[in-house]
């Protein structure tokens, strides 16, 4: 009886130890998941450049790491946002919710902030009357110049940026839909600022139809020289 009781006690102890170990591992997994979710919501987020609007600074297929703390991270379930360290500055890139479809994220460059006057004359950008120098990798791909009455891309009458807003444009100046077309960007829609490219792949060739062919082409499509490039 003594040996049987001892064996039962030992078995219960073993089962109890396994139970505690299971709960410990479960707690660790839950904690890691909560931490990862917290980082994703409030600190860092990945973003993939979807279009050519920021060429040649960014390329289609560039995956960016976004800092969400600097401009105040948006909290889930409409709970507001964290306090911002500062607002976007002129010349800085921002990732934001597209005003006409908040489920879509865009990336553009801040050209002017609240209180400044924006004007475009024959593709030349002015802020508070001073001509702005184009970013190093920006470009123009269309030699045509449209009058303001036809298209606001190349000529934009002077307007003051209202409080709580910024004016954003793409570096691919002739191939970007931005504040010239849909208006000033409210700061409430700003998600964060891109830091660097952590991954980049060229678009799939139109001939790549099968999954196997896509996997086969992946190595050739990776832009190794883009990895780790800081954006500015």
Mapped onto helix, strand or coil, the DSSP state of residue 27 is helix
For the chain, state the CA radius of gyration. 26
Q: Write the DSSP string, 120-159.
A: EETTEEEETTEEPPPPTT-B--------TTT-TTT-EEEE
Q: For all residues of the chain together, what is the average pLDDT? A: 84
How high is the pLDDT of residue 41? 46
The 10s digit of each residue's pLDDT in 158-187 is 999 999 999 999 999 999 999 999 999 999
Question: Percent of the chain scored above 90 by pLDDT?
Answer: 65
- Among 27-31, 70-74, 95-99, 139-143, the range scoring the smallest mean pLDDT is 27-31
* pLDDT level of residue 73 (50, 70, 90 thresholds): confident
* pLDDT level of residue 152 (50, 70, 90 thresholds): very high
Whether the per-residue pLDDT at 9 is higher than 70: the answer is no
Whether 110 contacts 168, CB under 8 Å:
yes
Whether the per-residue pLDDT at 40 is higher than 50: the answer is no
Highest-pLDDT range among 28-37, 40-49, 106-115: 106-115
* Structure-block tokens of residue 118: 């924006």
With 0.75 as the threshold, say if the pTM is over it.
Answer: yes
- Mean pLDDT of the 203-222 span: 69
| Cα–Cα dist 65/194, whole Å | 6
- Mean pLDDT of the 205-222 span: 68
């Amino acid at each position: 009886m003594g040996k049987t009781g001892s064996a039962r006690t030992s078995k219960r102890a073993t089962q109890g130890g396994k139970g505690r170990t299971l709960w410990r591992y479960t707690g660790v997994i839950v904690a890691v998941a909560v931490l990862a979710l917290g980082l994703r919501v409030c600190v860092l987020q990945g973003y993939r450049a979807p279009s050519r609007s920021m060429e040649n600074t960014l390329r289609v297929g560039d995956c960016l790491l976004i800092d969400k703390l600097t401009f105040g991270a948006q909290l889930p379930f409409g709970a507001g946002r964290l306090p911002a360290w500062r607002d976007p500055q002129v010349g800085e890139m921002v990732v934001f919710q597209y005003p006409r479809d908040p489920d879509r994220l865009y990336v553009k460059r801040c050209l002017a902030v609240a209180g400044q006057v924006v004007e475009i004359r024959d593709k030349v950008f002015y802020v508070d009357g001073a001509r702005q120098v184009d970013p190093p990798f920006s470009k123009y791909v269309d030699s045509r110049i449209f009058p303001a009455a036809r298209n606001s891309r190349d000529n934009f009458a002077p307007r003051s940026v209202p409080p709580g807003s910024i004016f954003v444009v793409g570096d691919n100046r002739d191939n970007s839909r931005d504040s010239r077309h849909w208006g000033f960007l409210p700061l409430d829609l700003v998600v964060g600022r891109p830091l660097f490219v952590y991954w980049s792949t060229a678009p799939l060739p139109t001939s790549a139809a099968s999954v196997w062919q896509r996997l086969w082409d992946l190595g050739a499509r990776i832009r190794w020289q883009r990895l780790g490039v800081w954006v500015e």
